[in-house]
């Protein structure tokens, strides 16, 4: 039996602000409208992000989940993002690829990585 992962739900203190963050920096399409308590975002790859209002008692920004975005040129992406106000940490070199980390408005971990473009030996 197959159960493909197509949707990720993120909890946010300000769903509209978080939806705008993912629209601006990662190209998600959204109306920004809250429907049934959710803001829906669609990516070009087909993954959907649903931003849900976090309950007042929920602690956000834990490291249980990290969203990783495929980016071929890490330093170029970091430069463009910085010009729009999103600062990534240092670029790390791994086994044939690089990556850098940041946080979204609710302190959720995000990463840009060139791993998907890694050359096969």
Tell me the pLDDT tens digit for each residue of 67-114.
Answer: 889 999 999 999 999 999 999 999 999 888 899 999 999 888 899 999
Question: Within a domain: residue 60?
Answer: yes
Q: Tell me the pLDDT band of 120, cut-offs 50, 70 and 90.
A: low
Q: Tell me the pLDDT band of 3, cut-offs 50, 70 and 90.
A: low
What average pLDDT does the structure give for the chain? 88
Q: What is the DSSP letter of 35?
A: B
Phi, psi of 78 (to 5 degrees): -60, -40
How many angstroms separate the CA atoms of 38 and 52, rounded?
5
Which of these, 103, 108, 76, 104, lies nearest to 91 by C-alpha position?
76
Higher pLDDT, 58 or 45: 45
As a whole number, mean pLDDT of residues 58-72 equals 79
Domain membership of residue 107 as a residue range = 7-117
Question: Within a domain: residue 2?
Answer: no
Question: Within a domain: residue 20?
Answer: yes
We report the CATH number of the domain holding residue 65 as 3.10.180.10
């Amino acid at each position: 039996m197959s159960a493909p992962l197509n949707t990720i739900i993120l909890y946010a203190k300000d769903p509209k602000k978080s939806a705008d963050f993912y629209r601006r920096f990662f190209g998600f399409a959204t109306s920004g409208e809250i429907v049934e308590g959710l803001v829906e975002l669609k990516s070009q790859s087909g993954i959907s992000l649903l931003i849900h209002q976090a309950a007042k008692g929920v602690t956000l920004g834990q490291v249980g989940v990290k969203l990783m975005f495929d980016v071929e040129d890490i330093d170029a992406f970091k430069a463009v993002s910085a010009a729009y106000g999103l600062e990534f940490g240092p670029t790390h070199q791994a086994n044939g690829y690089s990556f850098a980390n940041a946080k979204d408005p609710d302190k959720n971990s995000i990463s840009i990585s060139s791993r998907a473009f890694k050359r096969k030996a």
